[in-house]
Amino acid sequence: MLKKERAIYIVKKLEEVYPETPIPLDSKSKFQLLIAVLLSAQCTDKRVNKITPKLFSLGPDALAMSKLPLDTIYKTIRSCGLAPQKSKAILSLSKILIKKYEGKVPEDITLLEELPGVGHKTASVVMSQGFGYPAFPVDTHIHRLAQRWGLTKGNNVKETERDLRKVFPKSLWNKLHLQIIFYGREFCTARGCDGKKCEICIKCYPNRVKPFKASKP
């Protein structure tokens, strides 16, 4: 199976399994989405969704969040990984949004990446899920599956994103990146599939004998 053939099959299969792709993080605004995605680094979506109701009741928008004491933010998100760094980033970026953007999240990936605590992946998710721009945010699940399925030989998420953008039509990016994440969590897990157990791995590489070890991003 050639890479192009694998890509066509993967799109079809994922559409069968996940015809609907609800946004996994709960939010009521682009600001809340930005904060939720920031919190999701090294933290599960489930835990983030448990934390954010209280956080957003205290700081529903950039103005309210910018007025909260740092310690209040920290204590609210304490159960989330990297809480000290994240609480500082949340407070700082809220103040910047008030000062530079009238409290609004900028509709520009470059400006987003300049905000404290916001890397390329977080900015891409906000552009995709918040503003509807075509983007292909790559997390550890997507990086792992893209390697197992022979779609990339990238050594990091940046290289993997570049390769996936080439192999899949832009019109599919926003939905497809969520479908791959969902499949990676449910079927092609880090420990549950070694590149020759889940349905897509078997279809893409039916003659694979040895377990496939994906490189870490």
Q: In the structure, what pLDDT confidence band is assigned to residue 109 with cuts at 50, 70 and 90?
A: very high
Averaged pLDDT for residues 172-176: 97
Least confident of 18-22, 36-40, 90-94, 188-192: 188-192
**What's the confidence (pLDDT) of residue 155?**
87
- pTM of the predicted structure, to 2 decimals: 0.93
Domains 3-20+136-204 and 30-130 share a fold: no
Mean pLDDT over the full length of the chain = 96
For residue 144, pLDDT over 90 is answered with yes
Model confidence at 114, pLDDT cuts 50, 70, 90, reads: very high
pLDDT score at 62? 98
What is the reported pLDDT for 213?
86
Q: 163 with 152: CB under 8 angstroms? A: yes
R_g (Cα) of the chain, nearest Å: 18
Is the pLDDT at 97 greater than 80? The verdict is yes
| Domain definitions of the chain by residue range | 3-20+136-204, 30-130
Is the pLDDT at 217 greater than 80, yes or no? no
* Residue whose tokens read 């969520």: 178
Mean pLDDT calculated for residue range 94-98: 98
pLDDT range class, residue 140, cuts 50, 70, 90: confident
Q: List active site positions.
A: 121, 139
Res. 184: pLDDT tops 90 = yes
Percent of the chain with pLDDT over 90: 93
> What pLDDT score was predicted for residue 54?
98
Q: For the domain 30-130, what is the CATH superfamily, name and number?
A: Hypothetical protein; domain 2 (1.10.340.30)
Pick the CATH number of 3-20+136-204 from 1.20.1090.10, 2.60.40.420, 1.10.1670.10, 3.20.20.70: 1.10.1670.10
